[in-house]
C-alpha cells in the first residue's frame, strides 16, 4: 500500500489549497440565500461565476477526478481523489466547482457503465460538462435503507413503462434535469430481483415535487432534498438502464463510490473543525490564560486529532482497495460500511466538541455549526443508517470465525491453554534434555483435560 504523494501531484494540491480557500470558500459566505445555491441552475449570474471557476479547475487538470480520462475525468484514482476531496470538502460549493458533486458522481458512473450510446450523449456528456444536474431517486417514505421494500412501481405498457409512486429525500430534484429512478417492475420476484432503473426527465408529464424538504436548519418548504411523486409518468423502454430486474445491481455499482466520496470530504470538514477549535483554544482567555492551557480543552483537541488521523488512514486504505478494483469483494464491502459508520460518528463528535469549545458563539447563528451538525447527522442516515453498516461490518468479520467445537469454554481458558502449551513445548525441551521443572515452569501436572471439555448445550 502506498499513500505517498508525488511531487507533480503535490503541486496540484498546493494550487487547490489556495484556490479553494481564496476563490471557492468565499462563495458560501456571499451566496448563502439557500443551502442548495450551488445547484441553482436558474441563477444565471451565479452560474457564470461557477462556470468561470470550473474552467480554472479544468485548465489545471483537476476536473471530475472520480472518472477516468476517456469519460472526461482526470483519472486520478481513489487515493489521489481522497487528497482532493479533503481539500474542497470544506466548502459547500467545492464539489460543484470541481465536478465531483453527488448525486451526479454516482449517476455519471451508472451512465458510463450501463448507459447506451444515445443515453450517454443525451445525459452523461452534459452532466460531465457541468451544464446540468441530476437526481438519484431510490429512497421512499416507508422504505428507509431497504431498497428491496419498494412501492414505487413501473408497469410495462407496450414499448413504454408507466411509473407510479413516491420517492423521498431525492437530493437536487428541484434543480435536476433528469433522474435515475429505481422502481419495482416485478414485486413478486426475489427481493434483489424486483427493481429496474430508469432515466426520467424532470419535465416529464406526471412528475410532481410534492414538497421541498431540507435539513432542520433550512426554512420550512425549502432545501434541496424534495419529496417527489410519479403520477403515471410514461417513459420509453429506451430509458431503461441495465436489464429488467437488475436495478439492485445497478444501484450497488454507485453506492460504494458515493459513500467513499462522502467520507473523503468528511476528512476535510473534520480538519477544518479542528483548525477552528485550535484557533479558539489559543485565542480565548479564561482565568488569565488561554483556554488551550486547560486539560479539558487539551483532551478535546487531542481526541479530535487522534480520531481524525485514524479516520483519514481508514479512508485512504479503503480508497487503495478501490484502486485495486477490490471494492465489490467481501473486504471491500466491509471497509465501505466501516468508513460509512465511522464518518457519521467522527463528524458528530468533533462538531459537538467544537460547539462546546466556542461557547455562546458555537450556539449562535453567526457561525455555521448548526449546518455542520445537521450534515453530520445526515451522514448517519443517508445511504444506509449507521446501525445497518455496523451490522454489515460485524457479519463480514464473523464470517471468518468458526464455532468452538467440543467445549463451551473459551479457547483462551488458562488451564486448557496450559495443557496445550505443555504439549507444544515438550518436544523442544526433550531435544534439549530439559524438563519443565528445570526452568521452574508453571504447569498443572496430570491435568484431566477431558473432564473440562464440556459439550455445548444443543438448541
The set of cell numbers assigned to 153 is 412501481
> What does DSSP say about strands 289-290 and 160-167: parallel, antiparallel, or unpaired?
unpaired
In a domain, 190, yes or no: yes
- Identify the bridge partners of residue 208 per DSSP, sorted by sequence position: 229
Residue with C-alpha cell 481508514?
Answer: 314
Where residue 103 sits, what CATH number does that domain have?
1.10.540.10
In a domain, 1, yes or no: no
Residue pLDDT, tens place only, 413-441: 888 888 888 889 999 999 999 998 898 88
Residue 455 has pLDDT above 90, yes or no: no
Say which DSSP state 20 is in.
I
In a domain, 2, yes or no: no
In a domain, 18, yes or no: yes
Do 226 and 333 lie in a common domain?
no
- For the chain, the C-alpha Rg in angstroms (whole number) is 27
pLDDT of residue 457: 40
Do 255 and 234 lie in a common domain?
no
Q: Which of 47, 80, 115 is the last residue of a domain?
A: 115
pLDDT of residue 451: 62
In a domain, 428, yes or no: yes
Do 156 and 263 lie in a common domain?
no
Q: Any idea which of 200-204, 242-246, 388-392, 448-452 has the lowest mean pLDDT?
A: 448-452
In a domain, 50, yes or no: yes
Q: Which of 458, 245, 273 is nearest to 362 (CA)?
A: 273
What does the pLDDT average to over 166-174? 91
pLDDT of residue 418: 83
Could you tell me if 389 and 340 are in contact, meaning their C-beta atoms sit under 8 angstroms apart?
yes
Do 343 and 252 lie in a common domain?
yes
The set of cell numbers assigned to 172 is 437536487
**Range of the structural domain that residue 421 is part of:** 414-456
Do 79 and 55 lie in a common domain?
yes
Q: What angle, rounded to 10 degrees, do the helices at 247-283 and 78-88 form? A: 50
Predicted structure pTM score: 0.86
Residue pLDDT, tens place only, 6-56: 999 999 999 999 999 999 999 988 987 666 788 888 889 999 999 999 999
> What does DSSP say about strands 153-157 and 285-286: parallel, antiparallel, or unpaired?
unpaired
The set of cell numbers assigned to 4 is 505517498
Do 286 and 334 lie in a common domain?
yes
Residue with C-alpha cell 424486483?
Answer: 194
Where residue 374 sits, what CATH number does that domain have?
1.20.140.10
Residue 150 has pLDDT above 70, yes or no: yes
Do 236 and 254 lie in a common domain?
no
Residue 271 has pLDDT above 70, yes or no: yes
Could you tell me if 240 and 196 are in contact, meaning their C-beta atoms sit under 8 angstroms apart?
yes
Q: Which of 53, 84, 115 is the last residue of a domain?
A: 115
In a domain, 99, yes or no: yes
Could you tell me if 90 and 20 are in contact, meaning their C-beta atoms sit under 8 angstroms apart?
yes
pLDDT of residue 459: 35
Do 78 and 170 lie in a common domain?
no
Could you tell me if 29 and 93 are in contact, meaning their C-beta atoms sit under 8 angstroms apart?
no
pLDDT bin (cut points 50, 70, 90) of residue 217 is confident
In a domain, 120, yes or no: no
What is the number of structural domains in the chain?
4
Do 252 and 386 lie in a common domain?
yes
pLDDT of residue 458: 42
Residues 6+ apart with CB under 8 A from 17: 87
Highest mean pLDDT range out of 124-128, 139-143, 231-235, 404-408? Answer: 231-235
Q: Which of 115, 142, 162 is the last residue of a domain?
A: 115
Residue pLDDT, tens place only, 67-111: 777 666 677 889 999 999 999 888 889 999 998 888 888 898 889
pLDDT of residue 35: 67
Do 395 and 426 lie in a common domain?
no
Residue 448 has pLDDT above 70, yes or no: no
Could you tell me if 139 and 168 are in contact, meaning their C-beta atoms sit under 8 angstroms apart?
yes
Could you tell me if 150 and 194 are in contact, meaning their C-beta atoms sit under 8 angstroms apart?
yes
My answer on whether omega of the bond before 103 falls inside 30° of 0, hence cis, is: yes
Do 201 and 291 lie in a common domain?
no
Do 257 and 364 lie in a common domain?
yes
Residue with C-alpha cell 482565568?
Answer: 287
pLDDT of residue 48: 94
Amino acid at each position: 500500500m502506498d499513500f505517498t504523494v508525488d511531487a507533480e501531484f503535490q503541486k496540484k494540491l498546493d494550487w487547490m489549497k489556495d484556490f479553494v480557500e481564496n476563490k471557492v470558500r468565499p462563495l458560501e459566505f456571499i451566496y448563502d440565500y439557500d443551502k442548495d445555491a450551488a445547484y441553482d441552475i436558474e441563477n444565471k449570474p451565479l452560474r457564470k461565476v461557477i462556470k468561470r471557476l470550473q474552467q480554472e479547475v479544468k485548465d489545471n487538470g483537476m476536473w471530475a477526478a472520480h472518472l477516468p480520462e476517456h469519460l472526461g475525468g482526470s483519472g486520478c484514482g481513489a487515493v489521489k481523489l481522497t487528497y482532493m476531496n479533503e481539500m474542497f470538502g470544506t466548502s459547500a460549493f467545492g464539489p460543484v466547482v470541481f465536478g465531483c458533486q453527488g448525486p451526479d458522481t454516482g449517476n455519471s458512473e451508472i451512465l458510463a457503465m450501463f448507459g447506451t450510446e444515445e443515453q450517454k450523449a443525451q445525459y452523461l456528456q452534459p452532466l460531465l460538462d457541468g451544464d446540468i444536474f441530476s437526481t438519484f431517486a431510490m429512497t421512499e417514505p416507508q422504505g428507509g435503507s431497504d431498497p428491496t421494500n419498494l412501492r414505487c412501481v413501473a408497469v410495462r405498457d407496450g414499448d413504454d413503462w408507466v411509473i407510479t409512486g413516491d420517492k423521498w429525500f431525492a437530493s437536487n430534484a428541484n434543480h435536476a434535469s433528469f433522474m435515475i429512478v429505481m422502481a419495482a417492475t416485478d414485486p413478486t420476484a426475489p427481493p434483489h430481483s424486483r427493481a429496474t432503473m430508469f432515466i426520467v426527465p424532470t419535465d416529464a408529464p406526471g412528475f410532481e415535487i410534492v414538497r421541498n424538504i431540507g435539513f432542520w436548519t433550512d426554512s420550512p418548504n425549502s432545501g434541496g432534498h424534495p419529496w417527489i411523486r410519479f403520477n403515471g409518468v410514461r417513459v420509453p423502454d429506451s430509458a431503461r438502464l441495465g436489464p429488467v430486474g437488475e436495478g439492485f445491481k445497478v444501484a450497488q455499482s454507485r453506492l460504494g463510490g458515493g459513500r467513499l466520496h462522502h467520507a473523503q470530504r468528511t476528512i476535510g470538514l473534520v480538519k477544518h473543525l479542528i483548525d477552528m477549535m485550535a484557533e479558539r483554544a489559543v485565542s480565548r482567555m479564561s482565568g488569565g490564560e488561554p483556554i488551550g492551557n486547560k486539560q479539558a480543552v487539551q483532551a478535546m483537541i487531542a481526541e479530535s486529532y487522534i480520531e481524525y488521523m485514524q479516520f483519514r488512514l481508514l479512508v485512504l486504505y479503503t480508497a487503495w482497495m478501490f484502486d485495486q478494483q477490490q471494492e465489490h469483494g467481501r473486504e471491500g464491502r466491509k471497509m465501505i460500511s466501516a468508513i460509512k459508520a465511522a464518518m457519521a460518528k467522527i463528524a458528530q463528535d468533533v462538531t459537538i466538541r467544537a460547539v462546546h469549545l466556542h461557547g455562546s458563539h458555537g450556539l449562535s447563528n453567526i457561525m455555521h455549526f448548526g449546518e455542520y451538525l445537521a450534515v453530520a447527522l445526515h451522514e448517519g442516515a443517508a445511504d444506509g443508517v449507521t446501525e445497518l453498516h455496523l451490522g454489515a461490518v460485524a457479519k463480514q468479520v464473523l464470517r471468518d470465525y468458526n464455532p468452538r467445537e467440543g467445549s463451551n469454554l473459551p479457547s483462551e481458558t488458562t488451564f486448557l491453554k496450559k495443557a496445550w502449551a505443555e504439549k507444544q513445548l515438550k518436544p523442544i525441551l526433550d531435544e534439549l534434555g530439559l524438563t519443565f521443572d528445570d526452568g521452574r515452569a508453571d504447569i498443572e501436572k496430570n491435568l484431566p483435560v477431558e473432564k473440562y471439555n464440556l459439550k455445548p448445550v444443543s438448541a
